[in-house]
Every structure is written in structure tokens, then in C-alpha cells.
Amino acid sequence: MLIDYAAITHPGHVRKNNEDAYLLSALDGEEPIINATARALKVGDAGLLVAVADGMGGAAAGEVASREGLAAVALFLFGHWGRLTPASAVEDELLKALETAVERASDAVLRYSDDDRTARGMGSTLTAAVIWNGCAYFAQVGDSRAYLVRQGGLHQITEDQTLVNDLVAQGSLTREQARVHPQRNMITQALGSPQPLRVVLSRLALCRGDRLLCCSDGLHGEVPDAHILAVLSQGLSPRRSLELLVEEALAHGGRDNITGVLLSLNDPALDLPEPGEELDLVQPSVEALRPGFWQRLLRSLRGGAR
């Protein structure tokens, strides 16, 4: 599958350091692309990993947290996901492998902060997607986001793990109130937290013409969803589309670091969406993924031997 993409990260107008980071990597053992620029990727049987991380922690600790987290996710998936094939893999096992990769990333960030006194308390959000076998598999921690543009509509794939989003779910706040709430940036989950991590997993069947955007809150917090949709629906190149979104975030204040990765999926191997078709987003129960996972995964890695 050939995917056109663009990626931009910008420190914004206020902060001295850029604690955001992004990653793109074909899961075939090649070196991951962390904060590098390219135009197109050919995705083979191993799939493509895309991720955005927003670090926190003061001094340079946030920069370390976001990059350590991304590197740990890629390292784990290189050794697991990349060995699976559509014939041998079970979807639940793929999602569990992605969840485990994120848990390993959180452990890596926590170990780093334990070993370095200047990095105590550092952490990071993570929004990751693996494009594989005609689907996108998502893992979410924190308040970076993944969006899908399809048939003229914008769909937020991930849900923010924040205090205000919990209040919205409880009916205590409206989404309009949450957007301007003084504690809107208080996240309830992060890589590097000593508390148990809750990774939200989902799967989306992809269609020809889809556009996938992964971004930090420096972008989605400054640019309204309607404006994101307007820009991504103009038929511009991924690079130009992202440039316009970053320019708008900066024009609205640029109070945080701004990062986005945009994928354009026009491969003929993908089916066109049916008119009016509802979004096929599946969010499995994490507990349902646990029983027998490692035994089944090992059998898959050994070519189905029992």
C-alpha cells in the first residue's frame, strides 16, 4: 500500500522547548522516522506505525519522555507485530500486542525518571496507529488525538483522557464548556505514571480516500473541528494541508507545541466507502484480549505449531 503523508512539529509562540514528537515507521525492522520529513511511504506486509506524543515534565524532561515513549513502542512492535502475517494473526492478538507496546513505553519513561532525579515526574501522551491489512489499529493515552476524514465528514477516533472529558461523560459539563474550561489540559492518563495505565484500543476498517490525522493538543486545542475539516477537505497535498493547520494554530496564539501527522490513503487496493455508510469503529474490551494471548501469539510466531 502506498501512503502519501506529511508531518510537522512546531514549538509554538510561547514555549522555549518542543516537547512534542512524532514517529513513522514501517514495521519491517527499518529505522523509525522520528521527527524527520518525507513525502510517501510504501507499506508492506509488516504494516506502518504512526504515533504522536506530547511530553511534560519541565526543563528537557518532556522532550525525553515523548521520544523515549515513541522509541519503546517501535522497538516492541518491531519484534512482534512485524513477524505476524494476515494469515497467521488474530486481530485480538494484534490489539493486545499494541497495548503491550504502549505499556512497555510507559515503563520505559517511568524507569528513566526514576534513574534521573532531574526527570522526576516526567510523562507523555501517546496516540498511536498501526496501518495494516486494510485497517488502522489505534492506541490512546492522554489527550493527543486521531481524526478521520471520510465522505466530507470529520470523525474523532480517539477520546481524550482528561478531567473535563470525564465531566462531559458524567453530564456535568457540555463539550462547549469543556473546550474553554481552565482545567481542560489536565490529563488523567500518561506514559510514565506510576499508577495503572489504561490504554484505549480501537480498530477502523480503512477506505480509499480516507485521511487520517494524528495531532497533539497544541493543534486541536487551537483549531476548531470545523476548521480542521474545511482544510482537510480541500484536496490539497498532505504537506500543504498540515501547513495551513499549523498556521491557524499559531494565529490563534500558539500557546503550546504543535504537532501533526497526516496520512492520505488513495491506494486502489482499498475499497471505496459506501454512500452514507456508518463508521466501522470497533473498541474491544481490553480484558477480553487477555486470556491465552501469549500462548496464541507464540504459536503464530512459530508458524502455527501446536
Extract the C-alpha cell encoding 244.
495551513
Instruction: Show the DSSP H helices in the chain as ranges.
Output: 61-79, 91-115, 163-169, 175-180, 217-220, 225-232, 238-251, 293-301
Identify whether 106 is part of a domain: yes
Identify whether 209 is part of a domain: yes
Predicted local confidence at residue 155, as pLDDT: 96
pLDDT per residue as tens digits for the range 110-127: 999 988 888 888 999 999
Predicted local confidence at residue 171, as pLDDT: 86
Identify whether 303 is part of a domain: no
Burial class of 172 by CB neighbour count within 10 A (0 to 12, 13 to 18, 19+) = exposed
Residue 261 host element (H or E): strand 258-265
Residues of the chain where predicted confidence (pLDDT) is lower than 70: 29-45, 58-60, 82-90, 284-306
Predicted local confidence at residue 82, as pLDDT: 58
Identify whether 237 is part of a domain: yes
Give the C-alpha separation, 302 to 306, whole Å: 9
Structural domain span for residue 168: 2-298
Identify whether 132 is part of a domain: yes
Q: What is the count of structural domains for the chain?
A: 1
Burial class of 170 by CB neighbour count within 10 A (0 to 12, 13 to 18, 19+) = exposed
Which residues share a beta bridge with 10? 258
Q: Are 9 and 259 in contact (CB under 8 A)?
A: yes
Identify whether 304 is part of a domain: no
pLDDT per residue as tens digits for the range 15-34: 989 999 999 988 875 555 55
Identify whether 305 is part of a domain: no
Identify whether 68 is part of a domain: yes
Coil vs helix vs strand at 203: strand
Query: The domain spanning residue 69 has which CATH number?
Result: 3.60.40.10
Predicted local confidence at residue 32, as pLDDT: 58
Task: Report pTM.
Answer: 0.87
Give residue 50's Cα distance to chain centre. Answer: 6
Predicted local confidence at residue 293, as pLDDT: 41
